[in-house]
A = this chain, B = another copy of it.
Amino acid sequence: MKPNKYNNQANKEAVNHCQQCLMRPISLFSDLQESDFDLLRQPINIIELEAEEILYKEKQVIRYLYTVRSGLLKQVRYLDDGSYRIVRLLRQGDIAGIEALNNTFYKQHTLVLQKASLCQIPIKNIKALDQKSTCLYKPLMARWQKIQQDADLWITEFSVGHSKKRMANLLIYLAGENDTDFFFLPSREDIGALLAIRTETASRIIAEFKRQGCLQTKGNYAKINFSKLKQFY
């Protein structure tokens, strides 16, 4: 998958920009020293992907690791019957392809849900850094742990109990900190894949939440009424 089509004007300048980047505090490079930046030989591009685009596929050779600057991505696993389950969502600060350091191939399919901007970091850079410096150690460990915690959340909040409760949990998760704003609401099919329910069931619950005034939608975006949602929570 060559990213020719993407916003590919990366250059030496782009690399240096990492030092001043607004994302840096929440990026993998938070602990880099000035000298470490010299190890970033390959250009680090910023790529923009539209909804539905594939970032990478499972078993594809790992060339890049990505930091999510904005947008929303899903990591999916396909089931025997051809359907799929979303096993993880990636948001600002999350990393796609973190398995790069241990593996040659990506472990999940990763696709864009909501128009996303990502830092595309060549795996060569990461490996060079990793061999010469310990600056990636802490940030990586923190990411891994977040992955574990998110997984626990998934298993307990999105996979157990009545589907209305799961949906309420998901909406609150999607709303994030600012639960008064509109947030991206995935398609019914994706919601089904998130919560392990059918699209029809997802649709029914969304519809009921709207009737009850817990939820307001505008295209692919939604806003929750937190206090009214509590009855299902």
Contacts and interface: CB of A to CB of B under 8 A. Distances in A.
Nearest to A148: B147
A156 B212 CA distance: 32
- The copy count of this chain in the complex is 2
B156 A85 contact: yes
A137 B135 CA distance: 12
Interface residues of A, number: 30
Contact of A107 (B142, B144, B149, B196): B149
A35 interface: no
B99 A159 contact: no
Nearest to A134: B134
A155 B154 contact: yes
B151 A148 contact: yes
A196 to B, nearest CB: 5
Contacts of A156: 77, 79, 85, 87
B145 A102 contact: yes
A231 B82 CA distance: 18
Interface of A: 77, 79, 85, 87-88, 99, 101-103, 107-108, 134, 137, 140-142, 144-145, 147-149, 151-152, 154-156, 159-161, 196
Given A141-B144, A155-B159, 19 more contacts: A79-B156, A79-B160, A85-B155, A87-B155, A87-B156, A102-B142, A102-B145, A103-B145, A134-B134, A144-B145, A144-B148, A147-B148, A148-B148, A151-B151, A151-B152, A154-B155, A159-B160, A159-B196, A161-B196
